[in-house]
Amino acid sequence: MPGQSTALRKEPAAGERAGMRTGSYLSWGRYPKTIHSHVYKPAWDDQIPAIVKGASAGELLPYGMGRSYGDSCLNAQRALVDCRRLNRILGFDEATGVLRCESGASFAAIIEVFLPKGWFVPVTPGTKFVTVGGAIANDVHGKNHHCAGTFGAHVRQLGLHRSGEGPVFCSPSENAEMFRATIGGLGLTGVIAWADIQLRPVAGPWIDCELAPFESLAGFLDLSGESDGRFEYTVAWLDCFAGKKARGIFFRGNHAAEAGGKLRPKLGPKLPFALPAWVLNRGTVKAFNTAYYYAHAAKRGTTRVGYDSFFYPLDSLRQWNLLYGKQGFLQYQCVLPSANLAALEELLDRIAHSGMGSFLGVLKQFGTAPAAGMLSFPRPGLTLALDFAMRGERTLELLRSLDDVVWQSGGALYPAKDARMSSAMFESSFPRWRSFVPYIDPKMSSSFWRRVTGPQ
């Protein structure tokens, strides 16, 4: 790897976007509201050992861009290590496409530099405003899970700062268990300093995309089964007001085989402040869902679209999380074991009857790739993600009733999206979590971890 380093552009964190300052870092859902005792902002890798060694037990948690929805990136009353200034490209092998970068490098910046050279991130979540460290620590998945697995499957090696051992080099062959613990390890195994990522070759920035409406869950499954062998990316938007009927739009796409013309993604408008809570009510969300369904159901055939609008439609409205008002919102993402349509129907029925619909309803069939990390969330089955405005106990009660269905079906909840699951629900989602505990750095802790495993 060449030794020279290049600093990548810096984007604001979720908390800062919402006007919050040091000590008030938030997650994307803006719930819970958390105060931190201190935020370390190292600019250089060699500053981290002193921070980690000087901390007291359970004092620290690394922080990326705060794009986790709940409290897995928060450490109430304790300290964060904001890693976004550690954002340098350390090397790139043009023959193999292996990128070495610091953990604070964002997907947005990596794409900006490497897409023009014919390389794309191997797996991407629905926003490009995430860091490599955050993507590893949640072992994120994307629309290509059925053929590429999770982001962790494309990490070749990484450097980790641990309070006891100093810098630790981890890969599938060296410190292999620590490597598996760190992928999906929720930032608890130490501060990831850098990682080697296998990028994916592409001809250019364009995606050949097809849309297909469906009017039942069986229709969704048919489309998914028929598409997964032919399309690298598949996902569906679901109208959660339709109840068991479950209509939606299926999106599928492949990277275009030709370079095509240049694409200049534009920075979209920015929501300047939190909207009043009444703006997103049953009536407005239902109307939006109906309009969205009919607008897309009419579209037929293949369209060539830019990667930005295909992968990151939500990024086009910056700070869209402020739409949900001052109280913030919760995302509910579960996975249900394969073919458990009855459980999925029950979830949709309970949501429809609650009157608390979500305009973001995402459904995808995960593939069968083995988990890359000890606590990785994806597993074979159907994953459903929905946003709910935080309306206090009413919202929490609905989510608890959804938990009952997920629990009974043998499913799991995604920690990256969670702010309220019980320790029993966590235990049921990750029954082997105790075998992860020996890999936790004693200086690390998080609000999420204390909530689901008990006070430390």
Ligand X SMILES: Cc1cc2nc3c(=O)[nH]c(=O)nc-3n(C[C@H](O)[C@H](O)[C@H](O)COP(=O)(O)OP(=O)(O)OC[C@H]3O[C@@H](n4cnc5c(N)ncnc54)[C@H](O)[C@@H]3O)c2cc1C
Interaction with ligand X in 191-230: which residues (CB under 6 A)?
A: 191-192
Cβ proximity to ligand X: between 80 and 202 the closer is 80
Q: Which is nearer to ligand X, 72 or 365 (CB)?
A: 72
Considering only 15, 142, 361, 411, the residue that binds ligand X (CB under 6 A) is 142
Contact 365, 228 (CB under 8 A): yes
Q: Which of 65, 168, 181, 412 binds ligand X (CB under 6 A)?
A: 65
Our finding on whether 416 is near ligand X (CB under 6 A) is yes
User: 245 near 213, Cβ under 8 Å?
Assistant: no
Instruction: Note whether 15 binds ligand X by CB under 6 A.
Output: no
Applying CB under 6 A, which of residues 130, 168, 375, 413 lies at the interface with ligand X? 130
Q: Which of 32, 62, 204, 361 binds ligand X (CB under 6 A)?
A: 62
β pairing state of 166-170 and 155-162: antiparallel
Only one of the segments 42-50, 133-141, 236-244, 428-436 lies at the binding site for ligand X (rule: CB under 6 A); that segment is 133-141
Report the nearest approach of ligand X to the CB of residue 143 (Å): 7
| Shortest Cβ 261–ligand X spacing (Å) | 27
Instruction: Give the interface segment with ligand X, choosing from 61-69, 170-178, 237-245, 284-292 (CB under 6 A).
Output: 61-69
Number of residues binding to ligand X, judged by CB under 6 A:
32
**What SS3 class is residue 176?**
helix
CB of 83 to ligand X, least distance (A): 4
* CA 143 – CA 165 distance, rounded (Å): 37
Pick the closer one to ligand X by CB: 126 or 325: 126
Q: Among the candidate windows 114-122, 129-137, 269-277, 419-427, which touches ligand X by CB under 6 A?
A: 129-137
Q: Is residue 83 a contact residue for ligand X (CB under 6 A)?
A: yes
Please provide the size of the chain in residues.
456
Q: Does 87 bind ligand X (CB under 6 A)?
A: no
Query: What is the per-residue DSSP string for 267-308?
Result: P--B--SPPPGGGS-HHHHHHHHHHHHHHHHT--SEEEEEHH
Residue of the chain from 28, 92, 233, 407 that contacts ligand X (CB under 6 A): 28
For the segment 88-117, give every residue that binds ligand X (CB under 6 A): 103
Tell me how far apart the alpha carbons of residues 192 and 83 are, in angstroms, rounded to a whole number: 9
> Of 60, 89, 99, 140, which one interacts with ligand X (CB under 6 A)?
140
Question: Helix, strand or coil for residue 65?
Answer: coil
What stretches of 6-94 show up as alpha helix (H) in DSSP?
A: 14-17, 48-54
125 binds ligand X (CB under 6 A): yes
- Choose one: 47-55, 126-134, 266-274, 339-347; the region binding ligand X (CB under 6 A): 126-134
Span from 41-49, 50-58, 119-127, 433-441 in contact with ligand X (CB under 6 A): 119-127
Residue 138 touching ligand X (CB under 6 A): yes
Q: Residue 64 or residue 213: which is nearer to ligand X going by CB?
A: 64
User: What is the C-alpha to C-alpha distance for residues 170 and 305, in angstroms, rounded to an integer?
Assistant: 38
* Least Å from the CB of residue 90 to ligand X: 14
* Peptide bond between residue 12 and the one before it cis (omega within 30 degrees of 0): no
197 by DSSP, 3-state: which? Answer: strand
Q: How far is the CB of 446 from ligand X (least distance, A)?
A: 6
The nearer residue to ligand X, 135 or 421, going by C-beta atoms, is 135
3-state secondary structure of 177: helix
- Select 116 or 166, whichever has its Cβ closest to ligand X: 166
Query: Do 339 and 217 meet the contact criterion of CB atoms below 8 Å apart?
Result: no
For ligand X, the binding residue among 131, 144, 429, 445 (CB under 6 A) is 131
- 122: contact with ligand X by CB under 6 A: no
CB of 57 to ligand X, least distance (A): 17
42 sits in the region (left: phi over 0; alpha: psi -120 to 50; else beta) called beta
Who's near 427: CB < 8 A, 6+ residues apart? 433
179 binds ligand X (CB under 6 A): no
Q: Which residues of 347-370 are buried (b: 16+ CB within 10 A; e: fewer)?
A: bbebbbebebbbbbbbbbbbbebe
Rounded least distance, CB 223 to ligand X, Å = 19
Q: Look at residues 373, 346, 356, 365 and name the one whose alpha carbon lies nearest to residue 436.
A: 373
Q: How far apart are CA 58 and CA 79, in angstroms?
A: 9
Candidate list 20, 76, 277, 314; residue touching ligand X; CB under 6 A: 314
Cβ atoms 27, 74 nearer than 8 A? yes
Residues 60 and 445: their CA atoms lie apart, in Å, by 6
Measured CA to CA, the distance from residue 223 to residue 235 in angstroms comes to 10
Binding site for ligand X (CB under 6 A): 28, 61-68, 72-73, 83, 103, 125-127, 130-131, 133-135, 137-138, 140-142, 186-187, 191-192, 314, 416
